[in-house]
Amino acid sequence: MKIISSIDALRDQLRGQLRTVFVPTMGNLHEGHLSLMRLARKHGDPIVASIFVNRLQFGPNEDFDKYPRTFQADVEKLEKEGVYVLFAPTEKDLYPEPQAFRVSPPDDLGNILEGEFRPGFFTGVTTVVLKLFSCVQPRVAVFGKKDYQQLMMVRNMAKQFALPTEIIAAETWRADDGLALSSRNMYLSADERAEAPSLYAQLQAVADEVRGGHLDIFELERAAMAKLAARGWKPDYISIRKRADLQPPSAGDLAQAEPLVVVAAAKLGRTRLIDNLEI
């Protein structure tokens, strides 16, 4: 595996490649990330992964400085997965001058759910993804469904900018007890880790109610958040949305069995976890 930090060297290395498949990450790789590499292998060759902790998507009181960085261990994992190039730019490589040009997501998707609780987050995400796509120029890129709104944001951005990159969605990788794998799980204490699967359990309970014909979605959302709060969580949202655009479903949507997803974000101790479940 070749480890490359400069954009020019990356482009030289990939020149002439027409089936490049790309998996962007922020490192601290776990089995969920590695499952993306395996899915990527089915959709192209060579595989390019990136590791870059993107300052633009972190708020002023978020965990940029303490975000887990495990570069050498990540390299060993990627080598075992047959990754051809690891693009690992420094901030100076990717942002040689202040990134004054930014992508502005539409309000109806960028300012709801995660966008409401993390202002500017999706501007940072879409800006760095567009720049990484410009560097790698992949035919296919793979993103996980765990970050459901982010996946939709990147997919819509690629479509509206007519990017020559197909966005492939990978299913969420879970531990045996249902917890969605995340780099931030390492912040959890032993007791918090034992409690953490309750978030997914609430999503399952909400989904079961909807499938069973309970269509008072506001009551379902309120009850699920109350149950989490009673267990010591601080929920930001548990929300039933349309898969197509992440807007709340109307009565007509519910009557016509519009495909739905329940999305959630909540703090357990000092760790904020997100998850979702398609209904």
Q: Identify the active-site residue in 30, 33, 43, 214.
A: 33
**Which position has the token pair 């693009």?**
87
Distance CA 49, CA 141 (A): 10
What are the Cα distances from residue 27, in Å, to 5, 53, 154, 276? Answer: 14, 7, 19, 22
84 within 8 A of 47, measured Cβ to Cβ: yes
Strand ranges inside the chain, DSSP E = 2-4, 21-25, 47-51, 85-87, 140-144, 166-170, 234-242, 260-268, 271-278
For 180, which DSSP code? B
43 is an active site residue: no
What are the Cα distances from residue 101, in Å, to 46, 69, 135, 137? Answer: 30, 27, 16, 19
**Which position has the token pair 């290395």?**
13
44 within 8 A of 37, measured Cβ to Cβ: no
Supply the residues annotated as catalytic: 33
